[in-house]
Amino acid sequence: MDILEILSYGFIQRALLAGVLIAVLCSVLGVFLVLRRLSLIGDGLAHVTFGSTAIALAFKIYSAASLLVSLPVVLLASLGILRLTEKARLSGDAAIGIVSAVGIAAGIILASVGGGYNVDLLSYLFGNILSITREEVLIAAGLFCVVMLLLGLFFNDLLAITFNEELARVSGVQTRLISSVLVMLTALSVVLAMKLVGIMLISSLLILPAVSALQLARSFKACIGLAALQGCCSVVAGIFVSFITNLPTSAMIVLINLLFFGCACSLRRLLTPGNSN
C-alpha cells in the first residue's frame, strides 16, 4: 500500500492530526496520574460520562449539547475522587472504583426509569478515531493548547506534589489546588477526547506511554518527553499498521503501545545489568 495513497484520504489525515494531539495530551497527563496512583482515572471518568449522558438523553439532549451536562458532572466526579482519597484516606484505585461504579449504576437506573431512549446510548457515547470531523480536529487542538498551557504554568508545583506532597505543602505549594487542577484537566480531556476517539484509546494512552517512559527516563522532563514521543509514534504507527493489516485501528494503537512498553522494559534491563531487580 502506497503511503501517499493512504494519506490521500481525508479521514486518515484527520485521524493522524487529532490522534497525535490527543496522544501527546494523554501521555503527558498520564505521567502525573500514574505517579499519583490515579492510572485508572480515565476508565472511571468514562463511566461517569455514561451516567451523565444518560441524564442528557433523558431530557432529550443529543449530540454536542449533551457535553454541557456531562462536563460539569464529570468535573465534579473527578474532584470527588480526589476528596475521597484525602478525606476517607482511600487509595486512588478504590476511590476511582467507587466513583466509576456509581456513575455506571446511575446511568443504568436512569435508563430504566426513563423508559428507554430514541437512540442506542452506547453507540453515541464513544467516538472512533476514523470518524473525526473537521470541527473535532479543532476541538482537539483547542483542548491540547488549554491543557498544555495550564500544565506549563503549574509545572513546578505539579512536579513538587507528584514526588513529595508533604514536602510540597511545607514549602508553601497549595497542594489541594494543584491536585484539583490536575484531575480537572484530566476530566476535561477524558470527556472531550472520548467522544472523538473512544474510551479504550484514552485510558490506554493515559497509562502505557507513561509507564514505558518511567522505565527509561533519568529526569522528570525526559520522562514527559519520552511519554509524549511514544504516544505520538503509537498513533501514527497504529493507523498505518491498521491500514496494512486490515485490523481495527484503536486496538492496534493499544497493542503498539504494549510493544513499546515491552521494549522499554527490556532496554532498561540491558542498560542496568547490575541491578536487574
* Beta carbon of residue 98, minimum distance to other proteins (angstroms, whole number): 16
Span near other proteins by CB under 8 A; candidates 72-80, 111-119, 171-179, 180-188? 111-119
189 near 32, Cβ under 8 Å? no
Minimum CB separation of residue 265 from other proteins in Å reads 28
Taking the C-alpha atoms of residue 40 and residue 183, their distance in angstroms, rounded to an integer, is 12
- Say which amino acid occupies 69: V
Residue 182 CA: distances (Å) to CA of 25, 27, 154, 228: 12, 13, 9, 17
Interaction of residue 117 with other proteins, rule CB under 8 A: yes
Residue placing its CB nearer to other proteins in the complex, 130 or 263: 130
Among 65, 88, 119, 145, binds other proteins (CB under 8 A): 119
* Cβ-contact 43, 93 below 8 angstroms: no
**Whole-number minimum distance, CB 171 to other proteins, in Å?**
31
Q: What is the DSSP string of 187-226?
A: HHHHHHHHHHH-HHHHHHHHHHHHHHHHHH-SSHHHHHHH
Q: How far is the CB of 9 from other proteins (least distance, A)?
A: 6
Residue of 76, 93, 94, 124 that binds other proteins (CB under 8 A): 124
User: What is the nearest approach in angstroms of other proteins to the Cβ of residue 167?
Assistant: 31
101 touching other proteins, by CB under 8 A = no
Contact 155, 53 (CB under 8 A): no
Estimate to the nearest angstrom the gap between the alpha carbon of 138 and the chain centroid. Answer: 18
For residue 232, CA distances in Å to 65, 184, 214, 257 come to: 30, 23, 16, 10
Cell of 150: 495550564
The packing angle between helices 249-271 and 199-216, to 10°, is 10
Contacting residue, 193, 239, 254, 264, with other proteins by CB under 8 A: 239
Q: Do the beta carbons of residue 133 and residue 11 sit within 8 Å?
A: no
What x/- string results for residues 4 through 33 when contact with other proteins is judged by CB under 8 A? Answer: --x--xxxx--x------------------
Taking the complex as a whole, the smallest distance from the CB of residue 204 to other proteins amounts, in Å, to: 15
State yes or no: residue 118 binds other proteins (CB under 8 A).
Answer: yes
Choosing from 128, 174, 175, 180, the residue that interacts with other proteins (CB under 8 A) is: 128
Q: Please report, as residue ranges, which positions from 247 to 276 form the binding site for other proteins (by CB under 8 A).
A: 247-252
Residues forming the site for other proteins (CB under 8 A): 1, 6, 9-12, 15, 109, 111-124, 127-128, 130-133, 239, 242-252
